[in-house]
Chains A and B, each alone.
Chain A
Amino acid sequence: DSGVTQTPKHLITATGQRVTLRCSPRSGDLSVYWYQQSLDQGLQFLIQYYNGEERAKGNILERFSAQQFPDLHSELNLSSLELGDSALYFCASSALAGGEQYFGPGTRLTVT
């Protein structure tokens, strides 16, 4: 158990809909990262937050947005969903000073 929690574990929704994925980082970690992993693909970095502020942005679509709240949990919002958005979405957290990321179990999103 990495200490990073993600909810829900599975999500099935229809095209055009909007969903919210939630992540709670490990205790004491201020940085949260979101990744997308499609079937048999590598990890695509989406976005990073540090202590409530956006720190780095990767290949995140305009239909996607995220935020980190004062209690440090983060949410990833996906809207106008398309079939191609079906993927495993990981959240990871790390401490401030250069360290490893600890990953949550992921949320498996299926868009039908």
Chain B
Amino acid sequence: AQTVTQSQPEMSVQEAETVTLSCTYDTSESDYYLFWYKQPPSRQMILVIRQEAYKQQNATENRFSVNFQKAAKSFSLKISDSQLGDAAMYFCAYRADNYGQNFVFGPGTRLSVLP
């Protein structure tokens, strides 16, 4: 079964600095998708970024970028120029590219942004 691990339960970063959140996963599939979701205090789940496993290029969305290492099964999220609004729980998620496959979420990393 697929599993997703986030080894950092909590992290903090100074405003305007850069922080990297770690995620590793275990799968025997070759085609899959990886995601980072953000859950602010409002508890709304917000998609941050998505990566297709067949793509070598790392995904980027504004200040958010990933470092996808397929062989190592690693998928870290880098937040540049951190802002107070980035404070949230961040969940890493995996989905196999199979019909009807459900998502597997990691346990989350709580990120604090210090002014």
Instruction: Enumerate chain A interface residues (CB-CB to B < 8 A).
Output: 31, 33, 37, 42-43, 45, 48, 50, 55-56, 58, 88, 90, 92, 96, 98-103, 105-106
Taking the closest CB of chain B, its distance from the CB of A29, in whole angstroms, is 13
Instruction: Enumerate chain B interface residues (CB-CB to A < 8 A).
Output: 31-33, 35, 37, 43-47, 50, 52, 91, 93, 95, 97, 99-108
> Would you call A45 and B102 a contact (CB within 8 A)?
yes
CA distance A105 to B104 in the complex (A): 19
> Would you call B102 and A43 a contact (CB within 8 A)?
no
Taking the closest CB of chain A, its distance from the CB of B101, in whole angstroms, is 7
Taking the closest CB of chain A, its distance from the CB of B43, in whole angstroms, is 6
Q: A42-B91, A42-B107, A42-B108 are in contact. Are A100 and B50 (CB under 8 A)?
A: yes
Identify which of A48, A96, A101, A103 contacts B44 (C-beta below 8 A): A103
Most buried by B among A56, A98, A101, A102: A98
Contact residues in A for B100 (Cβ distance below 8 Å): 31, 48, 50, 55-56
> Would you call A56 and B101 a contact (CB within 8 A)?
yes
Contact residues in B for A90 (Cβ distance below 8 Å): 45
CA distance A99 to B97 in the complex (A): 9
> Would you call A98 and B44 a contact (CB within 8 A)?
no
Shortest Cβ distance from B96 into A: residue: A98
Complex A-B: 26 CB contacts under 8 Å: A31-B100, A33-B102, A42-B91, A42-B107, A42-B108, A43-B105, A45-B102, A45-B104, A48-B100, A48-B102, A55-B100, A56-B101, A56-B102, A58-B102, A92-B45, A96-B99, A98-B31, A98-B32, A98-B95, A98-B97, A100-B35, A100-B50, A101-B103, A103-B37, A105-B44, A106-B43
